Amino acid sequence: MKKVSMYTLSTCPWCKKTKKFFAEQNVPFDYIDYDLADEATQQRIISDMERHRASGFPFVMIENDIVEGYNPDRYAKLLGL
């Protein structure tokens, strides 16, 4: 199973939908809610996202692939579901 991790916001409904998608597919994932993180973690997240020219949440990492935004079709394709 590919490793899935994501940066999210606790206020973002699309982030909630993204977490729900992976949970319903029984795909384990890690996440950090940017808005609830400490300042150093927030800076690291922004740097990570800027490196990928991303600016919106959710920011999903599936192994080495990045998906910015709620895109269940792409998540499924990358996971081979």
Q: In this complex, which beta carbon is closest to another protein, that of residue 54 or of residue 79?
A: 54
Residue closer to another protein (CB basis): 3 or 17: 17
Phi, psi angle pair for 12, to nearest 5°: -100, 120
Within 13 A of 1's CA, how many CA atoms are on the CB side?
10
In whole angstroms, the minimum distance from the beta carbon of 38 to another protein comes to 13
Q: How far apart are CA 75 and CA 52, in angstroms?
A: 17
Q: Which is nearer to another protein, 28 or 36 (CB)?
A: 36
Q: What is the smallest separation between the CB atom of 23 and another protein, expressed in angstroms?
A: 19
